[in-house]
Amino acid sequence: MNTFENNDAVPAGPPPPNPTAGGAGDVIPAVPKADHTRPKTLLLGLGNDILCDDAVGLEAAQQIRLQCDPAQVDVIECCEMGLSLLDHLVGYDRVVVVDAVQTGASPPGFVHELEANDIKILPRMSPHFFGIGEALALGQKLGLAMPSHVRILAVEVVDPFTVSTEMTQPLKQALPGIVAKVLTILRDMVADDPSVHAPEKT
């Protein structure tokens, strides 16, 4: 007989539930934390790379990444929308969002410059925009470090619906000008931060 045997021992198993946690099935989401070591300015290119001109935000971000100092500006290409954008926004002071829009009132490649509060005036032609305002509001309510300056650059496009990995010719031709405009805006934003230098001109 084992003198150390305890017949009343409780079999090993999962720990008892935390009485302070939510009810059965409740999930407490993780709160994203700000990374204080990264740049304070973000370029967020939104779009879908298989929907023709809807990829313009992604294409612009790819080119801008090659022309910006990563120590000054973070560049993210994103196909997400809605509240899922929250994780990308936390911890930045300044954000520039580039995406496609189709109003029919401006020529292809025209850049509509808006603030975050102006998103509601855009026609419902770009689902990626919807949720940015909500994500900002939610982040502020949760006490997260959210950007104080958000600039929306909505690029007028020809065809954001056709399944294609190629943009239309008018958008391809307009892309260098779009990139130059975004770089100028980023340069001005970074110049407002005395701790860094503006992105280099190319």
Amino acid 175: pLDDT: 98
Residue 46 class from Cβ within 10 Å (0-12 exposed, 13-18 middle, 19+ buried)? Answer: buried
- Nearest Cα to 123, choosing from 142, 100, 89, 143? 100
Is residue 136's pLDDT more than 70?
yes
Residue spans of the domains in the chain: they are: 41-191
Q: What are phi and psi of 86, to 5 degrees?
A: -55, -45
Q: Kindly provide the b/e burial profile for residues 150-189, where b requires at least 16 CB atoms within 10 angstroms of the residue's own CB.
A: bbbbbbbbbbbeeeeeebbebbeebbeebbebbbebbbeb
CA–CA dist 52, 134 (Å, integer): 27
User: What does the alpha-carbon distance between residue 40 and residue 115 come to, in Å, rounded to a whole number?
Assistant: 18
pLDDT at 25 over 70: no
Calculate the average pLDDT of the chain: 80
Sheet with strand 149-156: strands edge to edge: 73-78, 41-46, 94-101, 149-156, 111-115
Give mean pLDDT, residues 67-89.
Answer: 89
Render pLDDT for 149-176 as a digit per residue (tens, 0 to 9): 999 999 999 999 999 999 999 999 999 9
Please determine, for residue 43, whether its predicted confidence score (pLDDT) is greater than 60: yes
The per-residue pLDDT for range 71-80, each reduced to its tens digit, is: 999 999 998 8
What is the percent of the chain with per-residue pLDDT over 70, rounded to a whole number? 70
pLDDT at residue 3 tops 50: no
Q: What is the CATH number of domain 41-191?
A: 3.40.50.1450
